Amino acid sequence: MTRNLLSGPEPDPARDAGHEDAPPRVGFFTDTSVCIGCKACEVACKEWNAIPEDGLSLSGMSYDNTQGLGSSTWRHVAFIEQSAPADGPPTPAGRTVLPMAGTQPEGPEDAATQGSGSASDMRWLMSSDVCKHCTHAACLDVCPTGSLFRTEFGTVVVQEDICNGCGYCVPACPYGVIEQRPSDGRAFKCTLCYDRLGAGQEPACAKACPTESIQFGPLDELRERAALRVDQLHESGVSEARLYGHHPEDGVGGDGAFFLLLDRPEVYGLPPDPVVTTRDLPAMWKHAGVAALSLVGGLAMSFAAPAVLRGKARR
């Protein structure tokens, strides 16, 4: 079978999309081990892209009142409160360990005297989620209007003047990123600040991140940096650190925006091993063809059978 561009390794999506003099592919490496949950990325994204307000509600989900990515939320900071792993990293000497609310009812003095060695039994995971700008982007593949397209930077962007609000990209996305804006019907998502990239600027969220949890750059460079960072964390005893979406041979051909996580992906609301749905599209078209032929065959039989029976009856 000839090679298709629907799945598998794809070193240069921009060039295969027709950008002949494409610059190096860019993306995000979000290192959640240094995220402090400040939400500066959410705010910077909303401001730069002039995204409308999308509700002010208290969710009860720790400090996360944004709840998830959507048409009007292109960066989302997740907050997970959980028991710290028993074999977690030792607290560096001299650091004061403060209790979580409700875990140390005795008062602040006890906590202040705990000192090094015994960390609190709770921990917080914070992670800034974003569109993954997949190498094999299902949203782009299934878009019937050509509104979703691959930019010269290898990112995936919606052209809002072409989107007709069919909503097919929404269930196609294996990460639940893209969404139709209820007031408008058209689909919106992160553009990786396409306008800023064109002007040689980094995306607003990366610019605003105070801890460099969100790193922007050429994807190859980010992958090297991420591999070093995960090794460094493993050496210092953070055995649960793992990269997510970095591998060019995973089900979506690798993400343009990938992550360093401290727990299993689904804990952060991420699918553990997503596969682009269009990988199976050639098989689906084949089955549809066979099904269409069986429909014709079945009906032809239905016309032939009574005629044959009548013929026999006459004889």
Partner 1 sequence: MVPRAEFGSYYGRPIIKAPSWAARDIAGYFFLGGLAGAGSVLAAGAHLTGRPRTATALKASSLASVTLSAAALVNDLGVPSRFPNMLRVIKPTSPMSVGSWLLSVYGPAAGVAALTAATGRLPRTGVAATTGAALLGPALATYTGVLAADTAVPAWHGAHRQLPYVFAASATAAASGMALVLGPTGENAPATCAAALAAASEQIAIRAAERDLGMVAETYRSGRAGTLLRYAEALTVAGAAGAALLARRSRPAAVVAGLALLAGSACTRFGIFAAGIASAEDPRYTVGPQYAAADVDPSQT
Least distance from partner 1 to the Cβ atom of residue 86, Å: 15
Cβ closest to partner 1, residue 36 vs residue 295: 295
Least distance from partner 1 to the Cβ atom of residue 33, Å: 17
Least distance from partner 1 to the Cβ atom of residue 171, Å: 4
Cβ closest to partner 1, residue 93 vs residue 291: 291
Cβ closest to partner 1, residue 3 vs residue 199: 3
> Cα dihedral sign for 29, 35, 38, 39?
positive
Q: Widest CA span of the chain, in angstroms?
A: 105
Closest CA to 30 of 236, 269, 243: 243
Cβ closest to partner 1, residue 83 vs residue 116: 83
Cβ closest to partner 1, residue 35 vs residue 206: 35
Helix extents (H) in 123-199: 138-142, 169-172, 194-198
Least distance from partner 1 to the Cβ atom of residue 222, Å: 23
Least distance from partner 1 to the Cβ atom of residue 235, Å: 20
164-170 own/partner pairs: CB under 8 Å, 24+ apart: 168/142, 168/143, 168/144, 169/138, 169/139, 169/140, 169/142, 169/143
Contact in structure between 313 and 305 (CB atoms under 8 Å): no
Least distance from partner 1 to the Cβ atom of residue 14, Å: 17
Phi-psi region of 24 (alpha: psi -120 to 50; beta: other; left: phi over 0): beta
Contact in structure between 47 and 75 (CB atoms under 8 Å): no
SS3 314: helix
Cβ closest to partner 1, residue 175 vs residue 216: 175
Cβ closest to partner 1, residue 12 vs residue 81: 81
**What CA–CA distance (Å, rounded) separates 175 from 263?**
17
**What CA–CA distance (Å, rounded) separates 256 from 282?**
25
Cβ closest to partner 1, residue 130 vs residue 206: 130
Least distance from partner 1 to the Cβ atom of residue 142, Å: 5
- Exposure on the CB side of residue 159, measured as CA atoms within 13 A: 11
Please report the DSSP string for 261-307 in residue order: ESS-GGGGT--SS---GGGGHHHHHHHHHHHHHHHHHHHHHHHHHHH
- Which residue type occupies 257? A
Contact in structure between 61 and 97 (CB atoms under 8 Å): no
Least distance from partner 1 to the Cβ atom of residue 296, Å: 5
